[in-house]
Structure 1
């Protein structure tokens, strides 16, 4: 009888343990740039596998800090960490998705894609040197477009942000004044404007404030019915933010086998390239306390690479090209 009771207890413990072993609950945090697609992937992954992925949109700086502290299974950042930092904190980094950052505006009577801007003009707006929408520099780019005779309300990120890193990296390339006076980084001293938290916060502010301009990942502009500006690219052509122009930027980028895998895609030379295209990156600890967690993270992104491309396109992201995916899979299996 005692043996039978012990057997029942053992079987009960096994049955209780099985769901926990089978259903992985992963936690990730970081960049708001890829949040829409990570949330979509996580929902579909749970539906197909039973595994949950909880991703918090807290900004790239927060994602880097949390994976360094070991409080999440993976961090996410649009600002790729350099090799020396990866080695210092014993981290592995790989890109997960390609998207694009767009200037968004709230100008009554101006539809999405109608307004034209160049990199130098955009920099002067965010420097506070161009302060009105009817400024001659903007008017010259937009003959025939009725521009409001009102002041420009600049909206930027208030948190440490990979989106800001890419935005300021681009402005530093196209404006010597911006490079000298402000520079690039996840968090900078803004010359002018109001801060919003996350891509969500910037999108909400621009949507609410007339005559505002900000910058967000394209999915946020599209989903919130916000107007965006077309931009002059490095080839001197005005282009719209589309899947084709994002892919053109990715294809124009050189693949130099950087061991950090931190490829920058902005200001590429392709004639059709969107000038503020960017990859978003995942960070994991090479030697976590629970090594099986990394395998579960890899399983999620392996599923995303093989099954999630169509979902990515519906949200205006660009899936990684197959050769890059193969490099990432090789990285996962490296000692």
Structure 2
């Protein structure tokens, strides 16, 4: 999405990685958030039910760093008293392609694990120390589904559609939470959209917050070469913000609050103009 909008091959781009103000300015872009969702660790361990396994960010980081290699490692069993975990090699699965999902996942790991931050860091694509690569959320979901003792990360919709075994995660408040619309909404409540649309929603405070939460952002050029198409894009998003909340809910995404939708129109859309300097958004 980012590459294509920068190259002007599309009318708008979408990304789960927000661009910083200097990157927006450099490319003459404006960004605004649409929906909020979660990235979920999923496992395939015989006998383990959805939500039964508890994990922390540091344990997940150590698995993908290749430091924790067995499911019955003391660091995992300590979090899961009474859960029977096998003496089996962990098979980590990650994305083979660049993605906003990977940005959300690696940004979170960088926040909770200094070693991860130093050795791997964050990005839409990183130099993975370990793991088999799957293309897209569907590739990772398929890999985890057929590979015993595996762990991967996918968007919440894929967890629900494929009835995958998700792990509970410990959040910044130290509480173990399951992924849900409510836990994504709790994380999003920590965002200060009034300050800036550059918001990272991972590892936010709050007892109910899901720790690997992110927003999807739309990117458009401020100066529109094809104003008629720009107008249609804004008409579509205007319609989506007015009528799309139920569709977002049905797909397990959290819509933006009305206050944020108002800010988007005032702050972002007002910057999108034709060659004469007239704004394209209908008031």
* Structure 2 residue matching 1:67: 3-state secondary structure: helix
Q: Distance in 1 between matches of 2:86 and 2:206?
A: 33
Correspondence for 1:332 among 269, 276, 280: 269
Aligned to 2:229, which of 284, 293, 303? Answer: 293
The Cα shift of 1:213 comes to 0.5
Structure 1 pair 147/231, CA: closer, same or farther in 2 (3 Å)?
Answer: same
Partner of 2:174: 236
Alignment match, 1:26:
none
Equivalent runs, 1:248-263 vs 2, <5 Å: 248-255=186-193, 257-258=195-196, 261-263=197-199
Question: TM-score when scaled to structure 2?
Answer: 0.93
| TM-superposition CA deviations, 1:143-174 (whole Å, max 9, x none) | 11111221111111111111111111100111
CA distance in 2, matches of 1:215, 1:109: 20
- Using the alignment, how far apart are the partners of 2:10 and 2:167 within structure 1? 37
Distance of 2:105 and 2:64 partners within structure 1: 11
Q: 2:203 aligns with which of 267, 270, 273?
A: 267
Q: Measure how far apart 1:266 and its partner are.
A: 0.8
Long gaps (5+) in structure 2: 272-278
Q: Which residue number corresponds to residue 64 of structure 1?
A: 2
Displacement of 1:87 after TM fit?
A: 1.1
1:256 positional shift = 5.1
Match of 1:126 among 56, 61, 64: 64
Equivalent pair of 2:111/2:117 in contact (CA under 8 Å): yes
The equivalent position to 1:160 in structure 2, one of 98, 113, 121, is 98
Per-residue CA deviation, residues 168-194 of structure 1 (Å, 9 max, x unaligned), is 110011111111111111111000001
The answer to whether the 8 Å contact 2:194/2:263 transfers is: no
Name 2:247's counterpart in structure 1. 311
With a CA cutoff of 8 Å and minimum separation of 6, indicate the structure with the bigger relative contact order: 2
Q: Which runs of 4+ in 1 moved over 6 A?
A: none
- CA distance in 2 between counterparts of 1:253 and 1:236 reads 19
Question: Is 247-256 or 161-170 further displaced after alignment?
Answer: 247-256
Query: Is 2:184 the counterpart of 1:246?
Result: yes
1:215 and 2:159 matched? no
Q: 2: distance between equivalents of 1:148 and 1:222? A: 25
Question: Which digits, 9 at most, give the CA deviation of each residue in 1:223-259, with x for residues without a partner?
Answer: 111111000001010011111111111112334522x
Does the 8 Å CA contact 2:50/2:165 hold for their aligned counterparts? yes
| Pairs within 5 Å for 1:1-335 | 63-255=1-193, 257-258=195-196, 261-330=197-266, 331-334=268-271, 335=279
Query: Which residue of 1 is the match for residue 274 of structure 2?
Result: none
* Residues 37-94 of structure 1: CA deviation (Å, up to 9, x unaligned): xxxxxxxxxxxxxxxxxxxxxxxxxx11111111111111111111111111111111
> What's the offset of the Cα at 1:203?
1.1
| Distance in 1 between residues matched to 2:223 and 2:67, nearest whole Å | 49
SS of residue matched to 1:252:
coil
The structure with more radius of gyration:
1
TM-score for the superposition, normalised by structure 1: 0.79
8 Å CA contact 2:193–2:260 kept in 1: the answer is: no
- State the alpha-carbon separation in 2 of the partners of residues 195 and 64 from structure 1: 22
Q: For the residues of structure 1 that align with 2:194 and 2:73, how far apart are their CA atoms?
A: 42
* Cα shift readout 1:299-322 (whole Å, capped 9, x = no counterpart): 112211111111111121100111
Structure with greater helix percent = 1
